[in-house]
Amino acid sequence: MKAAETNFLTLLEGKKQFIIPIYQRSYSWSRKECDQLWEDIQRAATDPSVAGHFIGSIVYIQEGLFVSAAIPKMLIIDGQQRLTTLSLLLLALAQAAANTPTSGTRRDEIYESYLINKFGNGDEHYKLLLRQSDKHTLTRLIDDLDLPEPASKHIIENYQFFKDQIQRSGIDLNDLYTGIRKLITVEISLDRSHDNPQLIFESLNSTGLDLSQADQIRNYVLMGLEDTEQTKLYEAYWHPMELSFDDTRDTATFDRFMRDYLTFKSSGTIPNIDEVYEKFKQYRQREPSRSISEIVVDIYRYSKHFTKLAWDCKIVCVNGQSRKMCEEAKEENPYDHSTRTDR
């Protein structure tokens, strides 16, 4: 492991690409986090006494599974939210500079230094490559093209937030650029042959990274696999599961399903909802003969039954029927305990 304090924009400079691995959660920063970041940068931009502002760490695996002679790849373990949000701010600043040619801040400088690899082909053209659900929205924003359908909600909203803030605040673009130049990060480079990314990720998560139990399980399942196997399992099983739980309109349903799955697999021992990830690791350790692939396929098979029951129950409730009818529906199939509150 190599760790060093560095300027954030210096980290982005040069031919390189930061890749968000397929097992990471989608971009999820809200208006609240963006507003705080904007206030911090605005203060750094306008207060000469602020020499720098620390934004947290960026942790990545250098090269590893992604080797390119032309453009080195960094696989992001922690820092996706900050990296993506600041890229959106830089994109908004570049757009404002293009519309204000007398500002002295140059659009092309921002693009070619921090957003794109000028001579990179295909995906290598972009400094930051997000997960599939966010990737096309960001790259098409950068290329000033029509947005994909469906577009990533958080990316669009936060990009528009920064555009609006730049316009409404009337901040001098050179000052804003100066504020961004004051951002400091700790760059942590891991070596896959010596460092354990999963243990490091868990240590970072224990300090407050807001991940659901299902998020942590997904990372645990996929992080240690080769890229080809990661992609295969994610696209064939895990991503369809995530989409099916999105359809229930309840972000906590996936966590509750994993609790019920482990309950079923542990002869009725019910884990606390905030201990599901730890119990899943214990379950995995008790099944050394089963591959991760076999376990993921099994989870996927159970999830299809669970989401159908959860969705059917929601339809009953939405149609104006009583909660009692929902409970009766669950009693007919006791496997679905997703609305019980006694755990």
> Which one, of 149, 326, 325, lies nearest residue 248 by Cα?
326
The overall average pLDDT reported for the chain is 83
The residues that bridge with 126 in the sheet, in sequence order, are 116
> What is the pLDDT at residue 203?
56
> What is the pLDDT at residue 267?
77
> Which one, of 43, 34, 41, lies nearest residue 183 by Cα?
41
SS (HEC) of 164-203:
HHHHHHCCCHHHHHHHHHCEEEEEEEECCCCCCHHHHHHH
> What is the pLDDT at residue 323?
46
One pLDDT digit (tens) per residue for the chain, 343 residues: 788 999 999 999 999 999 998 888 889 999 999 999 999 999 999 999 999 999 999 998 875 444 445 788 888 988 999 999 999 999 999 999 999 887 778 999 999 999 999 999 999 999 999 987 799 999 999 999 999 988 999 999 999 999 999 999 999 999 999 999 999 999 988 876 665 555 655 555 544 446 788 888 988 888 878 778 888 998 899 988 888 887 544 557 888 999 999 998 887 788 898 899 999 999 998 888 899 999 999 999 999 988 888 766 654 444 444 444 444 444 444 444 443 333 3
Half-sphere exposure at residue 48, Cβ-oriented, CA atoms within 13 angstroms: 0
Q: What is the per-residue pLDDT across 219-269, written as a single tens digit (0 to 9) for each?
A: 888 887 877 888 899 889 998 888 888 754 455 788 899 999 999 888 778
SS (HEC) of 205-263:
HHCCCCCCHHHHHHHHHHHCCCHHHHHHHHHHHHHHHHHHHHCCCCCCHHHHHHHHHHH
> What is the pLDDT at residue 121?
92
> What is the pLDDT at residue 22?
83
What are the boundaries of each domain within the chain?
2-210, 215-332
**Model confidence, pTM:** 0.74
Q: What is the per-residue pLDDT across 1-49, written as a single tens digit (0 to 9) for each?
A: 788 999 999 999 999 999 998 888 889 999 999 999 999 999 999 999 9
- Asked whether 155 and 137 are in contact (CB, 8 A), the reply is yes
| Separation in Å, CA 309 to CA 294, 297, 316 | 24, 19, 11
> What is the pLDDT at residue 196?
59
